[in-house]
Amino acid sequence: MRATLLAGLVCLVGSAGWAQAPPETDCDRRAGLWMMPRLDGGAQVYDIPVSQAPAAIAACEAAVAAYPETAYFAVLLARALIVANPGDPRALRLLRAASESLPAVSAAQIGALYELGQGGLGVSDRSARSFYEQACQLWPDPSARPGCAAHALMVIEGRGGPADEAAGFATLSELCRSGWPMACTDMAQQQELRGSESETEIAATLGFACEGGDLLGCSLLGFRYEIELGVPRDMARARSLYALACDGGEVHGCANLGEVYRAGLGVVQDIPEAARLFGLACDGNDPFACVTLGGMLADGRGVSVDIPRAIELLDRACWQGDPEACDMADGLR
């Protein structure tokens, strides 16, 4: 990621792999795919925090053992394994085994492994795009929507094949209208990058995404309220959206809310609360949160100095591609 924004839920009980579904398990509660619950109204998880990945793995291993005929549990186990160790090759094997029962879901997940270079695979935009396209070819099966959205982004950006902005935006627009709010957020971000729509229209699209259940859309809309971009400045509204996103598991919202309390933006400055929120966000691999909290711990800014912990957090931000974090960590060693 989920709060109360569940109007666009996609229940896949009737799809292959969901027939004669077992009762809700701890695997569903710890790793269930967001907006694609295995059971109607069942558990789902926006994102699995790194600290909770071992428990999710144990729960899903138990579910796979108890219900080996339910491919969904293999997909969830693969998801948890990647959070714990992005290079774990078991995830790819699980997804391939689930592909016959859940072709669209598995293809989209494998596409993500190729796009990010996870599961023992090297980064390959061409392979990622191919798997996303395989998933999207199963449209209008609702489980194809994540793959379609990912494929549309690659088509817009010309990654893994030729670019076609018109076709990519058309796909995102159709997905957004069909009730897949993550496509609304994707579309708004691409429009912002290209300046193809007014700031007011982009903010409206993010509002639609947030209302539909995409918590990243909520956090991005909150930032617009903070900086007065396409909407009037309203820090109370920004904080509310950040909190909604953070409470649902979207680390971008936790990081933004942490900065609100660190800087005292419309609230009384509260460094302990800021540190708590940055910790939540860093646990979800938000690099800004990791480097900010690492710097606070290194300098003792409102918190006790903890150099080993600071280095750990800065190393995590460095691994995520923040060069400043790399330099800071080296300077503390």
Residue with the bigger pLDDT between 32 and 2: it is 32
pTM of the model: 0.89
246-333 to CATH, choices 1.25.40.10, 3.30.70.360, 2.40.70.10, 2.60.40.1260: 1.25.40.10
The answer, yes or no, to whether residue 3 has pLDDT greater than 50, is: no
Sign of CA dihedral 234, 236, 278, 182: negative
Mean pLDDT (the chain, rounded): 93
Domain boundary assignment for the chain: 246-333
* Banded model confidence at residue 9, pLDDT cuts 50, 70, 90: very low
pLDDT digits (tens, 9 = 90+) for 201-258: 999 999 999 999 999 999 999 999 999 999 999 999 999 999 999 999 999 999 999 9
Predicted confidence (pLDDT) per residue in 103-125, tens digit: 999 999 999 999 999 999 999 99
Query: Taking residues 75-88, what's their average pLDDT?
Result: 97
Q: What whole-number distance in Å separates Cα of residue 11 and Cα of residue 70? A: 15
Q: How far apart are CA 326 and CA 291, in angstroms?
A: 9
Backbone angles phi, psi at 124, to 5 degrees: -150, 100
